[in-house]
């Protein structure tokens, strides 16, 4: 049936299938929060002890080995770091579909090992294997999505998948919350079942993949032009017409770009990309740095801190353990709903505006959440007022982050790299995300232990520091085709205003050459010649 779909039906089907992988990704991240508080897990991994707090609260785990607990969580990101680099290579060589199937197999193996773990060494090895699979999927699924989407809806296409990502977090949270009421809350099921549950969406994803179309851009890169034309026809017309104007125009642009990029194939290794060797003036190294640092900054704008500290704020506000859990669950639902705003705004307002207003909203929310947390400690008699205010700003921060910084750093690396190295380029973005997550997973407990709520002020300040960074170095990518991105980054200057000027001039050169070519009855000047002319001028 999937091979007969065309137009919007095919578009939405691809979106839903990619969403299964992103749902798993969110579930896998959210799952460990509940697992870490399971009394039996704490006992098996020798992380602390549990005490019975009465029928209303049940058994509550006390962690005496926070470094060991944090190590189990953070070692997963070492796996994603390895997996994204492996997935980037395989994605460019084997294709998007085959690489996603391989990543899913890694995930299934890792999940099976995790849910059967009997000690900390076993668990850590399983977490690394699971992380390798997740790294494969994180590197390739957004690239596949970006390459089949239209340039005017590319951001919304990927942002809608992240609604499912946070839905995965919500499902993980409430599933584990419910399992806490089974028996006296100390059974193995409370943590082994949630780990095993992640296998279901991955199996569904794997079952759908063989029926999904390969990226037409990758097919053209591999010389399989006839297949690419057929898929583009199905994607860009409701009746699957390969001669549809949109499909033909996009096909021609991709073919020209592939011809240009093959002239610089020697730049395709990770080292060449990182150091910008032999890139023919395409400045791939600049794109690598932008992708890595945007993902690192995404973690440093405070989401990891809020995830860690929100339950503490709710507890200090006078809410019991159960009520604090309810509030944390409601905060996750707010998080999920906020991603719908990203779907609406990410293409209309653009990436830069989203990062700007997100940074302002997040910075204000973190600073005020930290201030009211301080007042809450100094004036416990006013816990209801100050605690309620702190909780409100936690909710506000989560909403703004979900509408802006959650999705944009994942979309940006899928758009900015040349086709020849797009999977590896996005892998660099996942590399930065893995570093940022792993770093802060270990650092956050130390910061909160030493400086308490002032940690939130530090992250709040970083939000405001990110604004000039985006203004100066991150050009707009919304509503531009993937083939036009070279026009931006061919500029010798890394500053946005110079890149925009270079884009305008080179776009005019390309349009003029096409018009002249049509007038003369010839195909027109190839994109490679237009690029070289523009580069010399700049």
For residue 347, which of 139, 143, 150, 144 has the smallest C-alpha distance? 150
pLDDT tens digits, 143-179: 999 899 888 888 888 888 888 988 998 999 899 888 8
pLDDT digits (tens, 9 = 90+) for 197-252: 999 999 999 999 999 999 999 999 888 999 999 999 998 888 878 888 888 888 98
Query: Residue 384's pLDDT band (boundaries 50, 70, 90)?
Result: confident
pLDDT over 70 (residue 481) = yes
Q: What average pLDDT does this structure show over 39-60?
A: 80
Could you tell me if 494 and 393 are in contact, meaning their C-beta atoms sit under 8 angstroms apart?
A: no
Tell me the average pLDDT of the chain: 86
- The residue with greater pLDDT, 415 or 377, is 415
Q: How big is the CA angle at 479 (ends 477 and 483), to the nearest 5 degrees?
A: 70
Q: Which residues contact 508 (CB under 8 A, 6 or more apart)?
A: none
The C-alpha atoms of residue 174 and residue 410 are separated, in whole angstroms, by 26
Query: Could you tell me which residue, 3 or 340, shows the higher pLDDT?
Result: 340
Q: How many CB atoms lie within 10 A of CB 93?
A: 12
Q: What pLDDT is attached to residue 308?
A: 67
- How far are the Cα atoms of 41, 109, 115, 292, 302 from residue 45, in angstroms, in the given order? 6, 20, 13, 33, 29
Of 113, 102, 114, 107, residue with least CA distance to 130: 107
Average pLDDT for residues 88-107, to the nearest whole number? 93
Strongest mean pLDDT among 116-120, 182-186, 360-364, 515-519: 360-364
Residue 520's pLDDT is 58
| Cα-based torsion angle of the residue sequence 281, 85, 481, 142 in order, rounded to the nearest 10 degrees | -170
pLDDT digits (tens, 9 = 90+) for 247-272: 888 898 888 888 776 665 556 788 88
Is the pLDDT confidence value at 123 over 50?
yes
Q: Write the pLDDT tens digit of every residue in 167-177.
A: 998 999 899 88
pLDDT at 216: 93
Alpha carbon of 314 to those of 57, 236, 389, 431, 493: distances in Å?
15, 49, 10, 33, 48
In angstroms, rounded to a whole number, what is the distance separating the alpha carbons of residues 398 and 200? 28
pLDDT at residue 529 tops 60: no
113-145 burial, b for 16+ CB within 10 Å, e for fewer? Answer: bbbebeebeebbbbbbbbbbbbbbbbbbbbbbb
Query: What's the 3-state SS for 238-268?
Result: CCCCCCCHHHHHHHHHHHHHHHHHHHHHHHC
The partner residues of 48 in beta bridges, in order of sequence, read 63
pLDDT (average), residues 29-37 = 83
Residue 153 confidence (pLDDT): 83
Judge whether 319 and 327 are in contact, CB under 8 Å.
yes
Q: What is the mean pLDDT of residues 42-48?
A: 89
* CA–CA distance, 170 with 313 (Å, rounded to integer): 20
Burial of 248: CB neighbours in 10 Å, binned 0-12, 13-18, 19+: middle
Structural contact between residues 217 and 418, judged by C-beta atoms closer than 8 angstroms: no
Q: Are 169 and 406 in contact (CB under 8 A)?
A: no
pTM of the model as a whole: 0.83
% of the chain beyond a pLDDT of 70 = 92
Give the Å distances, CA to CA, from 152 to 86, 216, 254, 294, 489: 30, 18, 17, 22, 20
């Amino acid at each position: 049936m999937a091979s007969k779909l065309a137009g919007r039906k095919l578009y939405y089907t691809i979106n839903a299938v990619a969403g299964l992988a992103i749902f798993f990704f969110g579930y896998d991240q959210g799952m460990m929060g509940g697992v870490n508080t399971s009394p039996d897990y704490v006992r098996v991994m020798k992380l602390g002890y549990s005490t019975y707090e009465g029928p209303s609260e049940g058994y509550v785990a006390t962690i005496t080995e926070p470094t060991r607990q944090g190590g189990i969580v953070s070692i997963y990101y070492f796996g994603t770091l390895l997996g994204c680099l492996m997935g980037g290579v395989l994605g460019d060589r084997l294709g998007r579909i085959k690489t996603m199937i391989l990543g899913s197999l890694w995930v299934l193996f890792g999940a099976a090992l995790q849910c059967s773990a009997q000690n900390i060494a076993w668990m850590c090895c399983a977490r690394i294997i699971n992380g390798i699979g997740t790294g494969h999927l994180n590197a390739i699924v957004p690239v596949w999505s970006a390459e089949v989407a239209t340039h005017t809806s590319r951001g919304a296409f990927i942002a809608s998948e992240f609604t499912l990502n946070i839905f995965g977090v919500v499902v993980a949270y409430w599933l584990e919350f419910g399992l806490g009421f089974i028996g006296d809350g100390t059974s193995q099921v409370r943590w082994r079942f949630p780990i095993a549950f992640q296998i279901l969406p991955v199996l569904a994803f794997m079952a759908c993949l063989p029926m999904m179309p390969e990226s037409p851009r990758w097919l053209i890169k591999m010389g399989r032009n006839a297949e690419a034309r057929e898929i583009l026809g199905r994607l860009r017309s409701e009746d699957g017409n390969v001669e549809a104007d949109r499909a033909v125009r996009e096909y021609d642009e991709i073919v020209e770009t592939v011809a240009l990029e093959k002239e610089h194939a020697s730049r395709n290794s990770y080292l060449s990309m990182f150091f910008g060797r032999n890139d023919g003036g395409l400045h791939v190294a600049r794109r690598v740095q932008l992708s890595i640092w945007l993902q690192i900054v995404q973690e440093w704008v405070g989401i990891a801190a809020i995830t860690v500290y929100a339950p503490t704020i709710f507890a200090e506000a006078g809410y019991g353990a159960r009520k604090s859990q309810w509030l944390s669950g409601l905060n996750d639902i707010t998080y999920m709903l906020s991603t719908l705003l990203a779907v609406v705004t990410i293409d209309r307002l653009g990436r830069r505006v989203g990062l700007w207003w997100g940074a302002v909203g997040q910075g204000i929310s973190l600073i005020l959440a930290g201030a009211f947390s301080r007042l809450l400690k100094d004036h416990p008699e006013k816990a209801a007022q100050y605690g309620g205010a702190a909780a409100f700003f936690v909710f506000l921060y989560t909403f703004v982050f979900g509408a802006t910084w959650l999705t944009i750093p994942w979309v940006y690396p899928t758009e900015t790299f040349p086709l020849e190295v797009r999977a590896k380029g996005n892998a660099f973005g996942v590399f930065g995300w893995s570093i940022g997550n792993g770093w802060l997973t270990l650092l956050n407990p130390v910061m909160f232990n030493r400086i308490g709520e002032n940690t939130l002020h530090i992250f709040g300040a970083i939000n405001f520091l990110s604004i000039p960074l985006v203004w100066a170095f991150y050009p707009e990518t919304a509503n531009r085709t993937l083939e036009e991105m070279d026009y931006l980054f061919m500029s010798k200057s890394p500053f946005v205003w110079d890149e925009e000027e270079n884009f305008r001039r080179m776009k005019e050169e390309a349009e003029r050459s096409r018009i002249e070519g049509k007038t003369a009855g010839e195909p027109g000047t190839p994109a490679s010649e237009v690029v070289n002319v523009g580069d010399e001028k700049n």
